Amino acid sequence: MGRTSSFLISLLMWGLAVGAAADARDASEIRQVRFGGDDGETRIVVELSSEMEFRAFTVSDPSMRLVVDLPRAAWSVSGLETGEGLGYGLVEDFRFFDRSANASRIVFELDGPSVITGQFGIPANADNPHHRLVVDLRRVESVQAEAEAGFPEASNLSQLIAERVEAVYVPPPRERRVIVLDAGHGGHDPGALGAAGAEEADVTLAAARELQRQLEATGRYVVYMTRNNDTYPSWEERVGVMAEQRADLFLSIHADSSPSAQTRGAAVYTLNDRAESRARRIARQGANHTNLVEVNNILVELELREKRNQSAAFAEVMLQHLAEAGPLLQNPHRQANLFVLLDPRVPAVLLEMGFMTNAADLANMRSERARARQMAAVLSAIDAYFERNEEPGRNPVRAAQLTPIP
């Protein structure tokens, strides 16, 4: 793999021959995951927007898990935007991810040896508008659980590869995390304009420098800037810094504008579907995981999907901390087709600190004290994000290393 990639690829030890990972529209949404019963017998109910076939099975190595496979679905569970949640009864926690371009998977970590006693679907009805997938579990002795566990027999090698790989974030080994800060605009591009000749390019550079100062003062981070003066790096150059430094996180800093002088508040942006398609095309052109195009396409698909999950996770953490430093824009987690977020491997978020066209926001962005307070909130969010990933015994935020299951 090229030296600019921050993801490690570990594949099963066979020669790989897989079908192309074609794009697929999400046919159904997962709306809710519910639990019932106790730690002896537990029922899992997955609510869907439309009827879907599914398959459930258990695996026992390296840990006891229930795996639910279904056609490609969109995760739409309120409050669990990262696709992860805590369980109940026999279930410790669970996570959702796309295992290929046309298939999704939910993995439930179990707290002891268990077997499936039933799995079935319930169509929508007058009492519940959702279609439901139901899996019943029962705690048993280890010998029985291990005897009944295992992946269903795959019909071909492509299916085997698709079923037995999972995308998991494994940061490159290093003592200090690498953060790339991108101060928006600069040089010939002043960005949005505010009162008294204020330019977005100036406030973004001041904020990036303040955040760099605070990050480096902790001793936990190495910080690279895409610009440190009044110049205009191209979009390709900005993205190139994160690839060159094998960044753990990329943050682009901007300030917004609005026709209404009353509009104010911070917001964060992550990739939307259109931008993800652009990232997919770019990534496939440069993919070199293997010398098989079809395999590269599948690996790119996993990288993109899991990078998007990571970026969303960081965005949510950052909004929690930003809310303590000042007002947020209504619906502050937004998605957009932004070039600087396109690298398929590095978690990336764009921060809009406030509005150049709002007097209060502009005053805060030009105030050293207010700027330091807002950037301290961003620092706290970065700390919380990495602490969450590195907490012993906790499933990390998902990104893009491929590892066998089990």
pLDDT tens-place string over residues 1-59: 333 333 333 333 333 333 333 333 445 899 999 999 999 999 999 999 998 889 899 98
Can you tell me the distance from the alpha carbon of 176 to that of 218, in angstroms, rounded to the nearest whole number? 10
Can you tell me the distance from the alpha carbon of 113 to that of 65, in angstroms, rounded to the nearest whole number? 9
Determine whether 387 is exposed, middle or buried from the number of CB atoms within 10 Å of its CB (0-12, 13-18, 19+): exposed
pLDDT score of 366 more than 50: yes
Query: For residue range 75-99, what is the model confidence (pLDDT) as tens digits?
Result: 999 888 878 889 999 999 998 887 6
Domains of the chain, first to last: 29-163 (2.60.40.3500), 177-390 (3.40.630.40)
pLDDT score of 307 more than 70: no
Of residues 102 and 361, more confidently modeled: 361
When pLDDT is cut at 50, 70 and 90, the band that residue 348 belongs to is: confident
Q: Please answer whether residues 156 and 129 qualify as being in contact, where contact means their C-beta atoms are separated by less than 8 angstroms.
A: no
When pLDDT is cut at 50, 70 and 90, the band that residue 389 belongs to is: low
pLDDT score of 193 more than 50: yes
Average pLDDT value for residue range 174-202: 93
**The three-state (H, E, C) secondary structure of the chain, written as one string:** CCCCCCCCCCCCCCCCCCCCCCCCCCCCEEEEEEEEECCCEEEEEEEECCCCCCEEEEECCCCCEEEEEEECCEECCCCCCCCEEECCCCEEEEEEEEEECCEEEEEEEECCCEEEEEEEEECCCCCCCCEEEEEEEEECCHHHHHHHCCCCCCCCHHHHHHHCEEEECCCCCCCCEEEEEEECCECCECCCECHHHCEHHHHHHHHHHHHHHHHHHHCCEEEEECCCCCCCCCHHHHHHHHHHCCCCEEEEEEEECCCCCCCCCEEEEEECHHHHHHHHHHHHHHCCCCCCHHHHHHHHHHHHHHHHHHHHHHHHHHHHHHCCCCCEEEEEEEEECCHHHCCCCCCEEEEEEEECCCHHHHHHHHCHHHHHHHHHHHHHHHHHHHHHHHCCCCCCCCCCEEEECC
pLDDT score of 344 more than 70: no
Average pLDDT value for residue range 323-332: 93
pLDDT at 6: 33
Can you tell me the distance from the alpha carbon of 84 to that of 74, in angstroms, rounded to the nearest whole number? 14
pLDDT at 302: 43
pLDDT at 388: 76
Beta bridge partners of 167: 402
pLDDT at 103: 80
pLDDT score of 164 more than 80: no
Determine whether 373 is exposed, middle or buried from the number of CB atoms within 10 Å of its CB (0-12, 13-18, 19+): middle
Q: Please answer whether residues 106 and 56 qualify as being in contact, where contact means their C-beta atoms are separated by less than 8 angstroms.
A: no
Beta bridge partners of 93: 86, 109
Can you tell me the distance from the alpha carbon of 348 to that of 364, in angstroms, rounded to the nearest whole number? 25
Of residues 20 and 391, more confidently modeled: 391
pLDDT at 264: 96
Query: For residue range 55-74, what is the model confidence (pLDDT) as tens digits?
Result: 899 988 778 999 998 888 98
Query: For residue range 220-245, what is the model confidence (pLDDT) as tens digits?
Result: 999 999 999 999 998 778 888 887 88
pLDDT at 392: 45
When pLDDT is cut at 50, 70 and 90, the band that residue 352 belongs to is: very high
> What does pLDDT average to over the chain?
77
pLDDT score of 368 more than 50: yes
Of 147-151, 277-281, 374-378, which one has max mean pLDDT? 374-378
Model confidence, pTM: 0.55
Percentage of the chain exceeding pLDDT 90: 47
Of 174-178, 251-255, 310-314, which one has max mean pLDDT? 251-255
pLDDT at 269: 87
When pLDDT is cut at 50, 70 and 90, the band that residue 323 belongs to is: very high
Cα distances from 155 to residues 149, 151, 158, in angstroms, run: 18, 12, 8
